Amino acid sequence: MMPQTEACTKADTEFICGFIEGSLQNFQDTNGIDFTNLSESGWIWASLAVYMPLCIFGILGNILTIVMFSKYIKKTTTSVFILALAAVDLSVCSISMPIWLFTTFTEDHGSELLCKADKFINFFSIPMSAGILLTIAIDRFLLVFFVKAKIITRYKAKLIIFFLALGCIAIAIPQTLSFTTLYKLDEELVAAICQGTITCNTLKCQHTSEYVSRDVWFYMWRSLIIAFLVMSVIFTSVYTSIFAKVYRIHRKMSRYTNSVHEKRREMPMQTDHVTFSSSEPSSDNKSISNRNSVLGTNNNRPKKQNLPHLQTARILFLVTFCFIVAYAPLVLMMFLGSCESKEEGNLETPCRRNDYRRFLWHFYFLHHIVNPIIYSFMNPRFRDALRKCASSNVCCKNGGGS
User: Between 184 and 205, where is the model more confident?
Assistant: 205
Of 186-190, 317-321, 340-344, which has the strongest mean pLDDT?
Answer: 317-321
Residue 289 exposed, middle or buried by CB count within 10 Å (0-12, 13-18, 19+): middle
30 SS3 class = coil
Whole-prediction pTM: 0.71
Q: What is the crossing angle of helices 77-91 and 154-177, to 10°? A: 20
Residue 274: the pLDDT is 42
Mean pLDDT score of the chain: 72
| Confidence bin at 83 (pLDDT 50/70/90) | very high
Q: Report whether pLDDT(115) > 80.
A: yes
Residue 266: the pLDDT is 65
Q: Please, what is the end-to-end C-alpha distance for the chain in angstroms?
A: 91
Query: Quick one: average pLDDT of 54-70?
Result: 90
Query: Quick one: average pLDDT of 288-304?
Result: 40
Query: Quick one: average pLDDT of 319-347?
Result: 66
Q: Which CATH superfamily is domain 32-177+213-391 in?
A: Rhodopsin 7-helix transmembrane proteins (1.20.1070.10)
Residue 302: the pLDDT is 44
Q: Report whether pLDDT(307) > 70.
A: no
The domain spans of the chain are: 32-177+213-391
Q: Report whether pLDDT(80) > 70.
A: yes
| Confidence bin at 339 (pLDDT 50/70/90) | low
* DSSP per-residue string spanning 81-126: HHHHHHHHHHHIIIIIHHHHHHHHHHSS--SHHHHHHHHHHHHHHH
Residue 297: the pLDDT is 40
Reference 119, options 181, 53, 46, 63; nearest CA is 181
